[in-house]
Structures are given as structure tokens and as C-alpha cells.
A and B are shown apart, each in its own frame.
Chain A
Amino acid sequence: MDDRPAVALAQSGDVAAFNRLVLRHQDAVYTLCYRLTGNSHDAADAAQEAFFSAFRHIADFRGGVFRAWLLRIASNACHDLHRTRKRRPADSLDVARDSEDDTPRQDVEDDDPGPEAEALRLELGGVIQRGLLTLAEDQRLALVLCDQHGYDYAAIAEITSVELGTVKSRINRARRRLRDFLLSDPEYRELLPERYRLSDSGHAL
């Protein structure tokens, strides 16, 4: 969908037009925030702050892909939130208590896969999230932008403001580490869809 008309209106101060953009992209922004922060409470805070920041600075948007611009702001918001949490660990404990049953809702594409398949998918999602959290912050961002959001290396370089070679290196390290994490526990391997099962040595079966 073409964002340009709504962006032009938002740049002239039209809050309703900006809110249409928010509704259009908020799932992608929230998903990125969740992958980066690891809990729904922080993800919601970061996403909300990202949209505030985007509105404040929308005059700086000079064209290009609006969603990519939003994701860049969202990743910065997550980074700032992460730094705040490191400075004030008490906040992190509060978030952890609030987020004990922290299973975000997913956009289900399949038609009613059944309760068992749904449970397995949610469990796999939790395992993947734990694996992502073992990665360095910059590697996690690059991998999620590539594999879940489908951006190519050039777009990721622009979103993350680094060189193309750095993106390549980060994705390589992140994906290998995630693979090793999935191999580290037989239970994790059991959760993988059948066509993606891995043997103990990491070989695809």
C-alpha cells in the first residue's frame, strides 16, 4: 500500500493521517520491538515511543520506504529502553513480574491448525525468542530484519546505519549462533517442523 499520501498529510500536521500509518505498520513495529526486547511490556513501551518520535520527526522523512524508516526509529527506541533498564534494574524486575505469562498474540495465517499444532508453534516461538536473546543486540536486529521482515542487506545497512559488509558479518554470526542454540537441546529440535528437523550434528534430516 502506498504510504506517500498519508505521509504527506502527516507532515503537514494531520494527526489522523499519521494514525492511519500507525495502524498500518504497528504490528511490524511491535514485532520488531518484541524480538529485540524479549517481553511484551517493553515492546509496547518501545513501540509507543517509536510512534511518538516518528510523529515528532516526520518532517525529516525524505522519502523511501516509510516502514523501514519506522523500524529504524523503533530499533533506536528499543536500544534506549535497553540502556534505561540497565541503569535501573528495578524496572526490569517489575517488568519481569508483570510479564510472567508473556505470550504475545500472533497473526495466524493458517486456517485453524488445531490446538496441538498451535501449542507447538507457540512453544517454538518461545524457543526462538530465547535463542534470539542470546545474540548481541546488533546481530539480533540484523537477523530479525533479514529473516522475519524480509529486508535485503542494503536495506538493513540503511536502517541500521552501518556498512554492507558489517551487515553481512552480523547476519552470519547471528544465524550460526541461533542454529547452534537450536541444536543445543534435543527438546528444541523436537519442536522444529518436520521438514526442518536437524540431527545432533546439525545436519538437516
Chain B
Amino acid sequence: MTTETEHASLSEELNAYLDGQLDAAARVSLERHVNGCGVCQEEVRSLRVAKNVLKIQPMLRAPRAFTLSLDSTAGAPLLVGTTAPPSRWQGWLIWGWRLGSLASAACLLMAALARGNGQASLWTNSRNVAPEAAFNQAPANKSAETNTATGAGQAAGAAGSGSAAGQGAPSGALASRAESRDQVAAPQVAAPAPQVAQARATQPAPPSGQPPVTQPAPTADVAAVSPRQQMPAEPPASPVPAGVPWAGAGVTLALGSAALFFLNRRVQGG
């Protein structure tokens, strides 16, 4: 016996049947059921009435002609509360603004990626150094970390260790870069010989009571950074990776541009 719930679930099929939307197999199956079911027969009759009373309603006559005048199609707003199509120069302005926003976002993203790649290459280079070079550079990093932990050391050494440890880069190459920054960041100090400066940057004075860390001999890598002393000082490194703010700004601008683009299209009835 068909339950009330089953009849309710048949309702969609009955309406589709009335609308001629069932395929032949479904129609035959439903007709077989309806022929033997008084409830469904009455349901079909009443639904058919609801369908037919709407169907027999005549089309309404438009109260006026909705034709467009040449003026109204030339871009001038005719209806209160409606959005007028943009004029030619407004259209160029809108598209220029859109393209400019997207180009700016793309530039920011590329800049962020470039900076990110630069760091990645430094990281990669440091990992690819020869074993003996890595061995020689390892104490420099260790001393930098030690300096940060103890809070002691001279200004140049503290700055060098802060940048290296702050960026979390355990690379000798990065430490070398930091040391070159230290050397040019304090021009007032009497410039020591390159080897001495190297020793100060990578080997800060140990706190009293601690044995001095063994200082490796300067390597070819160290000599190679000497010319960079003539370059302007770089700003102190942020603890946040350098590419992140740029990438954030780029993504924000790109998303904002996209949102404004779609909003503009919607306002224009797109």
C-alpha cells in the first residue's frame, strides 16, 4: 500500500507529468500507478486546475511602448534610478584604470617573487658550498648565534649576528653578506684591514669568562666581498622574510582590482 510519504514524493513526478516533462517509460509507470490510486488521481486533478487557471490568463498589454529613443541609447541617463551606460571617454578611463591596477599588482607580485628567488638562491648557494668551505664557515654562524643568545659583543658583531640569526639562515654566504653590511654601516669607525673587519663581524668579542671561539682563517669567499664595501648600506633586515610584505601587497591589490572589476560590471548591468 502506498503511504502518505510516498505520495508526497510522487508530487514532483505528477507535476512533471502534467507538464509533459516525463520520458515515455516514466510516464507509463506513473500512469499505471495513478490509475490504481485514488489519492494520486485527485492530486493530479487539483494540480491540473492550478496549472490551467494560470495558463488561461491572457497576456497583459504593455501600458506604453517601451521603445528606445536615439537620445536614450546615446548614453544619457533617461530613467531615474537606472545606470547609464558609460560614455566613450569614461569607458577608456575605466579600462585604463583596470589595466593599470592589474599591471601594478603584477609588478608587485613579480618584485616579491624576485626577492623570494634571491633568498632562495642564497640559501641554495650556501648549501652547495664545498664541504671544507662549509666547515670553515660554520663557526662564524655559530658565533653569531652565540652572540645573540648572550647579548654581548661589540656593535658590529651584534648587528651582524642579529641579521643572520634573525633571518634564520644558517649559511656562511649570508653571514658574509651581513659582515659586508656591517663594514659599510659604520663609516665613522676607523676602517680596519679587511681581515680584521671580517674577524669582528663573524667573530665578536666573546663575553668575559668564556673561551674565545676558534677563528678560522679568512677564505677566498671573504676576500671576494671586500669590493662590496663601496656599496650603500642596506637597511637592517626584518625578521619577516623580505618577500612576504610585497607578496601580501600584490595579492591584496590584485584581489581588490578583481573585486572592483566585477562590481563595476554588475553595476553596469553585466
Where the two chains meet, the residues of A that have a C-beta atom closer than 8 Å to any C-beta of B are 15, 18-19, 22-23, 26-31, 34, 40, 44-45, 47-49, 51-53, 55-57, 84, 104-109, 124-125, 128, 132, 143-144, 146-148, 150, 152-153, 168-169, 171-172, 175-176, 178-179, 182-183, 192-193, 196, 198, 201-204
Contact = CB atoms under 8 A, between A and B. Distances in A.
Contact of B61 (A15, A27, A182): A27
B46 A198 contact: yes
B54 interface: yes
Nearest to B18: A175
Contacts of A152: 19-21
20 contacts: A22-B65, A30-B62, A44-B64, A45-B81, A51-B67, A51-B68, A52-B72, A53-B269, A56-B268, A57-B269, A105-B60, A106-B57, A147-B51, A147-B54, A148-B54, A153-B19, A178-B54, A179-B47, A193-B56, A204-B48
Contacts of B15: 168, 171-172, 175-176
Contacts of A183: 46
Place the interface of chain B in its size category: 35 or more
Interface of B: 11-12, 15-16, 19-21, 42, 45-70, 72-73, 78-79, 81-82, 85, 268-270
A105 B63 contact: yes
A15 B68 contact: yes
Contact of A147 (B12, B46, B55): B55
Contacts of B64: 44
A23 B54 contact: no
